[in-house]
Chains A and B, each alone.
Chain A
């Protein structure tokens, strides 16, 4: 048998060579948790220039289900952390993102798109305004971090400076037990709501903690000095609710949650309208049209785009992987799958992709061309698994 695509397993020469390189470890960076991954039996694979655990002996299926049922700890130290400093870093950041950065309140985090001059998506990222601090704290994708930081330096020159923090650790604790678990190591932390962010201590170590993540579950992302990463990770893993979770389950969790994977579901050839990410454009920004390619993007907001990112539920059991062609019922190709696989919580295959906008309505019957044969599927709303974020209670008192 031979490996088809996706994660290196065995059989294919290219994949074995990639694994081989990883084990000779010359060309791959290691996160501060590398020794811990190896100790835990993590299956290490090359990812975005790092050697990362794709899974632990628990296996992707159980790691995924455990995260939804209890809590999982992810090493995401490969992601790009940085501070953006200057007189008004939020105003500067708005040169390259359509998100409302100026309006972000203290103690809050927000999702943004980094756009190129043509309105294509260079990256998606999180930015935070910490209480009492002028600098913005950024987290960008691992595979794009060097180019993002260079782009920010260039476009924001004279207005803001980027200070990357490549040596820091970043842990994600995700799942319904995450709040109770982290409360034991950071008393008071469970009072945070979704997208709140604070500086605090976790197991004694200075940390930036946000209540956010990439699984659709409640949870936290915890930024630490690299030297504290291993100790804090071990403290969290010692809690009975927590298992270490690899990149494989991280991918299946985010896919079920309908969240985009940069480089797959969005890239420089997609714009915010096609990608269904118009919600990330600030209200004021839509009126002021002062972001890259704003006229073109706002025109597509009102008049529609020719293609659209959609969720897909295959009717059979066969997963449709990235690259699978999507056809209408007459056999005409109308799009392509950009992420696809098996959703462990649904016990069924799920996918997302782009189709001609005329076929983007929920419930539309389509075919996925898997191994040359049409497999019936339907356009489906996302998220496939409901988000369970800890939202602020709505209060009546003023």
Chain B
């Protein structure tokens, strides 16, 4: 049973037991435009909640991707490093960035539900 939560920086995190998969939202991908480069964290790296985790660049802009929740990186999505267009094509699926082993699941309480994130977008 998985659950997806969102940050106000437009990352999503899908929780499966003690594993979290992280990416950027459809809104973020659309705002960035054509993604041409991603830089992903090395597996084994330890990230704090809100820490800089990855970089995503479109033709015009470079943006940071922050860790929605703390933990140790267990995998990075090599497919988007090879073909960054996957981030625009399927940002909340195939275009995931990295996976984490969750450090403290209490940190999830600070994140938004899908409904809350949808309301947050309406306010932008």
Contact = CB atoms under 8 A, between A and B. Distances in A.
Interface residues of B, number: 26
Classify chain A: how many residues form its interface, as a range: 20 to 34
Interface string A43-65: 00000000000110001111010
A1 B10 contact: yes
B111 interface: no
Given A10-B31, A248-B59, A344-B36, 8 more contacts: A4-B61, A5-B61, A10-B124, A60-B33, A60-B59, A64-B59, A249-B59, A342-B57
B64 A1 contact: yes
Contacts, number: 85
Interface string B41-54: 00000000000000
B59 A344 contact: yes
B39 interface: yes
Nearest to B53: A1
B57 A2 contact: no
Closest 10 CB pairs of A and B: A4-B62, A61-B34, A10-B31, A342-B36, A7-B60, A60-B59, A6-B61, A1-B65, A6-B60, A9-B31
A2 B27 CA distance: 13
Contacts of A9: 31-33, 58, 60-61, 63
B116 interface: no
A251 B33 CA distance: 15
Given A1-B63, A9-B58, A16 B124 contact: yes
Contact of B33 (A4, A55, A317): A55
Contacts of A54: 60
A95 B59 CA distance: 40
13 contacts: A1-B24, A1-B56, A1-B64, A1-B65, A4-B62, A4-B63, A60-B34, A60-B58, A61-B59, A248-B33, A319-B57, A319-B62, A341-B59
A2 B64 contact: yes
A11 interface: yes
